[in-house]
Amino acid sequence: MKIVTSGCKYIDIDAYGGIIAYSYLLNLKGIPAKAVSTSPLNESITPTLLNLDIKLDKYEKSNDDEFIIVDVSNKDFFDDIVDENRIIEVIDHRTGFKDYWENILNKNAKIEFIGAAATLIFEEYEKNNLVSSMPPSIAILLLAGILDNTLNLKAKLTTKRDIDACEKLLQIANISKDFAKEYFLECQNSIEIDLEKSIENDTKVEKICEILPEVFGQLAVWSKEFILNNKEIIYKTLGKINDDWMFNLISLSDGKSYIIANSEEYKIKLEKLFNKLFENDIMELDNVWLRKEIIKKARMAMQ
């Protein structure tokens, strides 16, 4: 059995939709496959998406299992069910481990720099001439994955391939053109129900470079007001991890990122990085920035 899975800490809609869609594709090709994850689902996987007619499969371990990994290529973060010696394919839109997997898997290392893994999965349907066999529920999952990972196609890493895939998936899904707004509002509602947990679930703790603090939280919402009006929860949640932290609030309705930081040392460094000033611990940027894009900018500034 081919087991299509993803990461261990949590999975987002890009991973969730990707593993379900790829498992469905393999079964269309006559290859028995299951979409499996033992990891928590984050807020990007909304109740509406969970209620679609195609879901994750139950998993019973077998010695014959072979693993296909989607939306992650760092082996330290694979789902706990994965046997590294039985990995037969890796599909990811982050390229840091591209060479490693190409040496092991050759053409089965499908790793390309692109906005979303869901775009790569959709393109697999195209390569196999099976787009016409894709059910609307699969199209909705992949569409949500692309929108979420590209910030409604506004993130700098968005490619024409992501945009083209979205346009085709909208046709297959046969849903409202307001789907993006409706989807992100539903994500925001899930976030607001337990803001502290949502922040914890999307906080990266890693010493990246001298410009950025070790603790780096992020949330993407449709509208910023609720989060900014409850700013003290950010201070409380991230402050429990480390005294020095930063938080990236992505507001899609106005197409901006709002950087929140409490450390005077890091505020000075971030002001220099973006050529912007903090006001009451908040720096308003001119457009949306993903955490990975901020990290890349900081690393380049250190060179």
- Do 143 and 170 form a contact (C-beta atoms < 8 A)? yes
Residue 109 burial (10 A CB sphere; 0-12, 13-18, 19+) = buried
What does the pLDDT look like over 243-283, one tens digit per residue? 999 999 999 999 999 999 999 999 999 999 999 999 989 99
Are 18 and 139 in contact, with CB atoms under 8 Å apart? no
Largest CA distance in the chain: 59
Average pLDDT over residues 202-213: 88
The pLDDT assigned to 149 comes to: 93
pLDDT in tens, 139-183: 999 999 999 999 999 998 999 999 999 999 999 998 988 899 999
Average pLDDT (134-139) is: 98
Instruction: Give the type of residue at 297.
Output: K
Are the C-beta atoms of 170 and 179 separated by less than 8 Å? yes
